[in-house]
């Protein structure tokens, strides 16, 4: 869609057309504010985008599956009427084993019991209780996603009183967990490995479940707090089915397009190919933005979908941000662990454990390759030493098994989400000639152990190192969450104590991206919550 004419002044500017920025714009426009979204790239979506990198092949180039996007936002913005469709995956995952066996997991409890029983009868019986605990923990934590966290730092006495009420409500919710409260608190704070070791004994099951605790994060299953990352990845649903991940029909960019349509319908103007160089600040108040070409757009509200480091240290005049906040943001952990490889294939892989190139259950969900706990720990240690993992942890998805519209007839696309690959290497750089290709070859070599002939099926590949993720999508350090999801960077500490309620030291400037509460993933909650804060302030 061609850009409309840039306005000279609006009520609100949203910097960045990622999914959170678009959600914020839609809610602001529904509140009858004039809104302009300014997106640096040529297309919407941020990291939730569909790109035709190879002619005829459409890729979810960064984010690749969905479950966490908040149901309330889907309802409020009527996204299904704007083209948003989910394709549930059943089974959800497939883990091929080196001995020729395999493990399916999914929403079908009978299937799970049969599959796990191949490895451990005890584990098959325990899974139901484990999932029930996760369900209770998710129900306890999910209301926290829908609103700003309590303000335990700066703020008026009224805000502090409101925060005390919120903390009391949170405490009451915790007490209602009864005897499960200690287990839920352990899950929120402990290493995932400690939790999984106590519940399960079979390595294929423990390794498969452990990937939810480390995916996208520079942590191992033995890192304290990785249990929360595990929980974070089950606090979602697909068409009402809790904990089920699915593909967005047409790729992840179709979610962004649907939100964009809802925002436009409400009156928002959306511009692509427009980069913001800085936020205009006068007397401690946001007054609009300056574009890269020097154009100024006036606004009384500015919402930044960029991460906290870009927002506070690049876009905002340094004199407008308090020294303590600057130190906090400078010390935030933006460590990256991920390389994303997008592939055009001439056929689906045939696995030793379940041979066949025709779309089958083993192709529908996430394929976990190299997922024993010891292999994950060894891969993590390599990255801590500044080396890409010698034996990477690989999650493969094959969305054309359910959505053939993404590729020419008979062809397929694949996403490889690979860990661990540090942003800074002990020797050399990701820009060194052949560096990325050599790592991709290493990844393919591992896949070949489970799916012989895979490499020959590759028509083209798009390799995104942490450095590429930073350059293309504006993710500091290549961190897909806009900052680590560690315990010291969550809830009222995200992005910094006293500034977790989306407002900033600059009056009228708000943080609406994943660097704000409740954090990373394709949730939409930071965008909605920030818009609610801005709307509340305009009505005061």
How far is 441 from 422, CA to CA, in rounded Å?
A: 17
Q: What CATH number is given for 12-48+67-85+249-333+476-539 in this structure?
A: 3.50.50.60
Give the CB-side neighbour count of residue 19, counting CA atoms within 13 A: 30
Neighbouring C-beta atoms of residue 449, cutoff 10 Å:
13
According to the model, what pLDDT value does residue 157 have?
67
Please report, for the chain, the start and end positions of each structural domain, with discontinuous segments joined by +: 12-48+67-85+249-333+476-539, 106-244, 337-422+431-464
According to the model, what pLDDT value does residue 142 have?
80
Q: What pairs with residue 412 in β-bridges?
A: 345
How far is 205 from 127, CA to CA, in rounded Å?
A: 10
According to the model, what pLDDT value does residue 175 have?
76
pTM of the model: 0.95
Q: Going by DSSP bridges, is the β-strand pair 93-96/366-369 parallel, antiparallel, or unpaired?
A: parallel
Cβ(397)–Cβ(414) under 8 Å?
yes
According to the model, what pLDDT value does residue 140 have?
82
According to the model, what pLDDT value does residue 1 have?
61
According to the model, what pLDDT value does residue 167 have?
76
How far is 139 from 131, CA to CA, in rounded Å?
A: 12
Q: What pairs with residue 304 in β-bridges?
A: 15, 511
Q: Which residues of the chain have pLDDT under 50?
A: none
According to the model, what pLDDT value does residue 472 have?
97
How much is the mean pLDDT over the chain? 92
According to the model, what pLDDT value does residue 181 have?
84
User: Long-range contacts: 164-173, Cβ < 8 Å, 24+?
Assistant: 170/144, 173/140, 173/143
Cβ(365)–Cβ(112) under 8 Å?
no
According to the model, what pLDDT value does residue 513 have?
97
According to the model, what pLDDT value does residue 152 have?
66
According to the model, what pLDDT value does residue 155 have?
60
């Amino acid at each position: 869609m061609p850009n409309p004419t840039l306005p000279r002044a609006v009520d609100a500017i949203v910097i960045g057309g990622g999914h959170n920025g678009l959600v914020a714009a839609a809610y602001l426009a529904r509140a009858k504010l004039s809104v302009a979204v300014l997106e640096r790239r040529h297309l919407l979506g941020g990291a939730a985008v569909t790109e035709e990198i190879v002619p005829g092949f459409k890729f979810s180039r960064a984010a690749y599956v969905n479950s966490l996007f908040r149901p309330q936002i889907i309802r409020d913005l009527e996204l299904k009427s704007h083209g948003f469709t989910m394709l549930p995956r059943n089974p959800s995952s497939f883990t091929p084993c080196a001995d020729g066996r395999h493990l399916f997991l999914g929403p079908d409890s009978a299937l799970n019991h049969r599959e796990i029983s191949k490895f451990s009868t005890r584990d098959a019986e325990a899974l139901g209780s484990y999932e029930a605990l996760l369900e209770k923990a998710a129900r306890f934590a999910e209301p926290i996603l829908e609103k700003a966290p309590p303000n335990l730092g700066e703020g008026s006495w009224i805000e502090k009183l409101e925060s005390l009420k919120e903390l009391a409500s949170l405490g009451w919710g915790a007490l209602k967990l009864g005897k499960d409260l200690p287990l839920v608190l352990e899950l929120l704070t402990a290493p995932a490995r400690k939790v999984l070791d106590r519940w399960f004994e079979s390595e294929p099951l423990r390794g498969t479940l452990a990937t939810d605790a480390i995916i996208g994060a520079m942590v191992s299953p033995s890192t304290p707090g990785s249990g929360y990352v595990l929980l974070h990845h089950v606090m979602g649903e697909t068409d009402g089915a809790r904990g089920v991940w699915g593909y967005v029909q047409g790729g992840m960019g179709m979610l962004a397009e649907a939100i964009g349509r809802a925002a436009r319908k409400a009156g928002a103007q959306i511009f692509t190919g427009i980069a913001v160089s800085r936020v205009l600040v006068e007397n401690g108040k946001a007054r609009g933005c300056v574009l890269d070409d020097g154009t100024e757009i006036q606004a009384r509200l500015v919402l930044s979908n960029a991460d906290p480091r870009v927002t506070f240290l690049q876009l905002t005049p340094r004199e407008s941000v308090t020294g303590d906040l600057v130190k906090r943001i400078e010390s935030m952990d933006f460590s990256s662990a991920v390389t994303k490889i997008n592939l055009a294939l001439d056929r689906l892989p045939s696995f030793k454990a379940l041979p066949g190139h025709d779309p089958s259950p083993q192709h529908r969900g996430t394929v976990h390759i190299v997922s024993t706990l010891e292999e994950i720990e060894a891969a993590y240690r390599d990255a801590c030493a500044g080396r890409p993992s010698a034996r990477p942890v690989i999650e493969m998805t094959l969305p054309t098994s359910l959505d053939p519209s993404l590729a020419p007839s008979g062809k397929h696309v694949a996403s490889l989400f690979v860990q661990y690959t540090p942003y800074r290497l002990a020797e050399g750089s990701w820009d060194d000639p052949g560096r990325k290709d050599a790592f991709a070859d290493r990844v393919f070599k591992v896949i070949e152990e489970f799916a012989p002939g895979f490499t020959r099926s590759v028509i083209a590949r798009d390799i995104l190192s942490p450095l590429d993720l930073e350059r293309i999508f504006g993710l500091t350090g290549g961190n897909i969450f806009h900052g680590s999801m560690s315990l010291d960077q969550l809830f009222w500490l995200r992005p910094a104590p006293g500034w977790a309620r989306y407002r900033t030291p600059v009056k009228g400037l708000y943080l609406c991206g994943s660097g704000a509460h409740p954090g990373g993933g394709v949730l939409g909650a930071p965008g909605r919550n920030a818009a609610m804060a801005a709307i509340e302030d305009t009505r005061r």
